[in-house]
Amino acid sequence: MREPSRFETLVLMTVGLLLVVCASSSVPAQTEDSFGDGGADPVKLFERAQSAHGRGEFDKALELYEQAIKVRPEFPEAEFQRGNVLVSLARMPEAEAAFRRAIQLKKNWSLPYSALGALLFRSGRDREAEPIFREALVADPQDNVALRILSEIRLRAGDAKEGLELAQRATRDKEAPASAWIVLVTAEKANGDKGAANVILDRMISDDPGNLAALIERADFRTEEKNYDAAVADLKTADKVRPGDKLILARLAFVYQQAGKLDLAQATAQAAGLEIQQASGDGKIRVIGTPEEIEAANSDDPVTARKALEKLLEKNPHSGMLLARLGASFRTDDPGRSLEFYRRAAALEPNSPEYSVGYASALVQARRFSEAIQILRQALHANPQNYTAHANLATALYELKRYAEALPEYEWLITAKPDLVVVYYFIATAHDYLGEYPEALASYEKFLTGADDKTNQLEIEKVKLRLPTLRRQIQLGQGVKRKP
């Protein structure tokens, strides 16, 4: 099932932050009318800051909030609003500190928890954001920002059931924003109920024909179903609501391209200042984007490439190639995000062995071995020589202590790459756990013969400790060893 695109995620996050600010605009000031002389009254300073904040005068508002805090250091409402202003000024580290200070001063107030969680989510720090949102819901079980963004986090983590429960709670609010309903659409699709998702979208657009988020989501839905004419109609309506928006036009160009209307695709992309990069044999990605974005996505610098890939994914939400590239990029830094990107790529193009193996590899990285094994066996049935699939299958079976099944995979690996000496270590330990001592000894000795003293130092030490006992067991004729 397709999960939220990066564009949708950013739209929802932005709406969430705006709602936090709006909700907090009526934060009650302290009940005291004065504090010292009139020129140093923190309540009046706070009220003046609120007025400037509402007018969009962020620098002035920040100065006034800080003056109020200077007069009264324990002023959680001012700290919270100071954090919101800092978000508007894109000073995220300072905003994070302000929200944390507000939480410290007023632990049972949900709004700073939600604002901090949204900021962390926006930065791709889902693991840190999740417990913060859960704290927000302890303080206020109906905190809509926390419910809907936490729903997105759980959906991205593959927990479709809780993602749906949270989205349903968010939409029970009579004042639930459109973004909450979009999250519910995504959750219904993740749980396999496309019919319910479609009904929600149709109702949203019927109630508000200019609902941009619903139009784009329904267009994506129709594109997946290859109902290109209907998708084009929705995107044209969206373009009327927000003329010239590059994300909308990029999607429209993509749909034209998928429908085989290449002239219209090219014209639409050019009108938005974009270009369509066709597939080629040099490994370049095929996407719709600016020339600068496409060049940056192919940069050797992983940070530069990752940022460009995320921007391109906003314009190309159905690109399995971009999703797989991001999955590979996050594989060691953030296995959870890597898994989500690969999963989406495999869902978009289920017949692509590259994406399914990438997804399975990410499952192994996340220690979800049983799920990975099934996918890897299917991939190897289609392509028996896929080295990555064999390597990950061997790891998954070994970690599940299914040593007898892991051994043929490791033996295939050492045959394919005889110089990969560490494989002998895993072959040896698998035999050892199975009580096959002579075979284990032979593989241990092969490992020691070719092992590198620095790279394999830990394994070498373990083997040297094990060998004396193993040799005695063989001399005594022992052939069965209790499995761990």
Low-confidence residues in the chain, pLDDT < 50: 1-38, 280-285, 482-484
Dihedral sign for Cα atoms in the order 433, 434, 436, 439: negative
As for how many domains the chain has, the answer is 2
Q: Of the residues 92, 127, 156, which one is the last residue of a structural domain?
A: 156
Q: How many residues does the chain have?
A: 484
Q: Of the residues 94, 122, 156, which one is the last residue of a structural domain?
A: 156
Position 88 in a domain: yes
Contact of 117 with 132, CB cutoff 8 Å: yes
SS3 call for 208: coil
Position 97 in a domain: yes
Q: Of the residues 124, 156, 188, which one is the last residue of a structural domain?
A: 156
Query: Would you state the structure tokens that stand for residue 194, as one six-digit string?
Result: 């496309």
Quickly list H helices, 172-241: 178-190, 194-207, 212-224, 228-241
How far apart are the C-alpha atoms of 30 and 19, rounded to whole Å?
22
CB neighbours (10 Å) of residue 399? Answer: 13
Position 27 in a domain: yes
Q: How many angstroms separate the Cα of 79 from the Cα of each of 48, 123, 336?
A: 15, 21, 32
| Of 204, 187, 108, nearest in space to 147 by CA | 187
Q: The domain that contains 17 carries what CATH number?
A: 1.25.40.10
SS3 call for 275: strand
Query: Would you state the structure tokens that stand for residue 101, as one six-digit string?
Result: 């200070």
Query: In DSSP terms, which residues pair with 289 in a beta bridge?
Result: 275
How far apart are the C-alpha atoms of 450 and 454, rounded to whole Å?
12
Query: In DSSP terms, which residues pair with 288 in a beta bridge?
Result: 276
Q: The domain that contains 475 carries what CATH number?
A: 1.25.40
Position 351 in a domain: no
Position 304 in a domain: no
Residue 274 exposure: Cα atoms within 13 Å on the Cβ side: 28
Single-letter code of the amino acid located at 115: A
- Give the residue numbers spanning the domain of 415: 405-484
pTM summary value? 0.59
Contacts of residue 276, Cβ cutoff 8 Å, sequence gap at least 6: 253, 257, 265, 266, 269, 286, 287, 288
Position 96 in a domain: yes
Dihedral sign for Cα atoms in the order 38, 43, 46, 48: negative
Cα 98 versus chain centre, distance: 25
How far apart are the C-alpha atoms of 142 and 130, rounded to whole Å?
16
SS3 call for 163: helix
pLDDT tens, residue by residue, 347-403: 777 767 777 888 888 888 878 888 889 888 888 887 888 888 899 999 999 999 999
Q: Helices 403-416 and 387-399 sit at what angle, rounded to 10 degrees?
A: 150
For the chain, the straight-line distance linking the first and the last C-alpha, in angstroms and rounded, comes to 39
Contact of 121 with 13, CB cutoff 8 Å: yes
pLDDT at 293: 77
SS3 call for 132: helix
Position 454 in a domain: yes
Element (H, E) at 174: none
How far apart are the C-alpha atoms of 376 and 379, rounded to whole Å?
5
Position 331 in a domain: no
Q: Which stretches does DSSP call E strand in 381-469?
A: none
Contact of 16 with 151, CB cutoff 8 Å: no
Helices then strands, counting H and E runs in the chain, come out as 26, 2
